[in-house]
């Protein structure tokens, strides 16, 4: 059984019903003697997650991605309540979480541990990605040249709009839109998918979890743009490469038993043939 003594509610106030949902859930938690705090300003200080057992994100997948680094740093379990559109990560609806919340407070829940990318530059900058790391040409002026190695072995040189490096969790995001594969979330792997490669020979590659991947930038174009989970990262003035590995840390997400990974893919993306269900 998982003991919960403190909860942080991360609330996206731009979403209708977010505030009132947080208040209703706080009442249930405080009635059981559980300490609560509300976080409504973004970005927030990661130290707010110190000694927090559970983070309830009320908003959507974008709001949940904003808590990844703090949750990893403090080993905090996260529950996502979806008030957005898709809800691949924030899989609980308001109705579902209200029905299940007392059970969750009593420690009756299952945790799914999701792989996270650890991204490091040669000058010591680092970041975590739950979904993906994307490298593109900085000014969106056209193609970019990138060289990829794994365990010091050359994989290929790419002339393309960019490269996507996705976790299994992120395989259903930008990676999927660019023609990459869907990967089950319990697989330890990294998917690399070129964006509009200028050749018919370049396709997605699946790397295992053991060998680091290194991407080298061509100096002739402008500096590349690197985004982590959709947000720009890294000061690139002095670096010529970036290394990508699967982190030893894992993101702990409470699983909604009514919404498995592939049921979400089927329902949210209309995947498969509905006539045979």
Residue with tokens 């991947």: 213
Q: How many CB atoms lie within 10 A of CB 26?
A: 17
- On the question of pLDDT at 166 being above 70, the answer is yes
Non-local CB neighbours of 27 within 8 Å, separated by 6+ positions = none
My answer on whether 126 and 191 are in the same domain is yes
The Cα 33–Cα 148 span in angstroms is 52
Considering the domain architecture, whether residues 177 and 227 belong to the same structural domain is answered as yes
Q: Please report whether residue 36 resides in a domain.
A: yes
Q: What's the rounded Cα separation, in Å, for the pair 118 and 272?
A: 33
Residue 138 shares a structural domain with residue 236: yes
Q: Are residues 165 and 48 in the same domain?
A: no
Q: Which residues contact 12 (CB under 8 A, 6 or more apart)?
A: 18, 58, 59, 60, 63, 83
- Residue range of the domain that includes 240: 117-246
Same-domain pairing of 153 and 207: yes
Which CATH number do you get for residue 148? 2.60.200.30
Residue 4: is its pLDDT beyond 90? Answer: yes
Q: Is residue 171 part of a domain?
A: yes
Averaged pLDDT for residues 130-152: 88
| CATH code of residue 108 | 3.40.50.10330
**Which pLDDT band holds residue 138 (cuts at 50, 70, 90)?**
confident
Q: How confident is the model at residue 208 (pLDDT cuts 50, 70, 90)?
A: very high
Q: Are 35 and 50 in the same domain?
A: yes
What is the reported pLDDT for 80?
96
Whether 53 is catalytic is no
Average pLDDT, the chain: 89
Catalytic residue among 53, 61, 132, 229: 61
Residue 1 in any domain: the answer is no
* CA-based nearest residue to 117, from 212, 205, 246: 246
Same domain for 158 and 60: no
249, 152 contact by CB (below 8 A): no
Structure confidence by residue, pLDDT tens digits, 27-73: 999 999 999 999 999 889 999 999 999 999 999 999 999 999 999 99
How many Å apart are CA 259 and CA 148, to the nearest integer? 36
Do 149 and 238 sit in the same domain of this protein? yes
Q: What is the side-by-side strand order in the sheet with 132-137?
A: 205-208, 189-195, 162-166, 132-137, 224-228, 231-233
Q: Are residues 162 and 230 in the same domain?
A: yes
Q: Identify the H or E element spanning 226.
A: strand 224-228
Q: Does the predicted TM-score (pTM) go above 0.85? A: yes
């Amino acid at each position: 059984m998982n003991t919960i003594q403190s909860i942080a509610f991360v609330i996206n106030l731009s979403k209708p019903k977010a505030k009132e949902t947080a208040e209703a859930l706080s009442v249930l938690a405080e009635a059981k003697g559980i300490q609560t705090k509300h976080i409504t300003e973004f970005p927030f200080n990661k130290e707010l997650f110190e000694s927090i057992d559970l983070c309830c994100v009320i908003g959507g997948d974008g709001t949940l991605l904003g808590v990844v680094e703090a949750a990893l740093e403090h080993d905090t379990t996260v529950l996502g309540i979806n008030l957005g559109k898709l809800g691949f990560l924030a899989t609980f609806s308001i109705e579902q979480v209200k029905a299940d919340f007392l059970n969750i407070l009593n420690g009756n829940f299952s945790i799914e541990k999701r792989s996270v990318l650890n991204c490091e530059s040669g000058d010591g900058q680092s970041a975590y990605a739950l979904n993906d790391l994307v490298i593109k040409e900085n000014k969106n002026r056209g193609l970019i040249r990138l060289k990829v190695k794994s365990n010091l072995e050359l994989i290929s040189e790419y002339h393309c709009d960019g490269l996507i490096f996705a976790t299994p969790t992120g395989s259903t995001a930008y990676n999927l839109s660019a023609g990459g594969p869907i990967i089950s979330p319990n697989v330890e792997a990294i998917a690399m998918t070129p964006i509009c490669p200028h050749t018919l020979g370049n396709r997605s590659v699946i790397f295992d979890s053991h060998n680091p991947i290194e991407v080298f930038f061509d100096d002739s174009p402008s500096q590349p743009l690197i985004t982590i989970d959709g947000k720009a990262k890294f000061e690139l003035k002095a670096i010529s490469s970036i290394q990508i590995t699967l982190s030893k840390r894992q993101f702990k997400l409470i699983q909604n038993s009514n919404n498995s990974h592939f049921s979400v893919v089927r329902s949210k993306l209309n995947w498969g043939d509905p006539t045979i269900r």
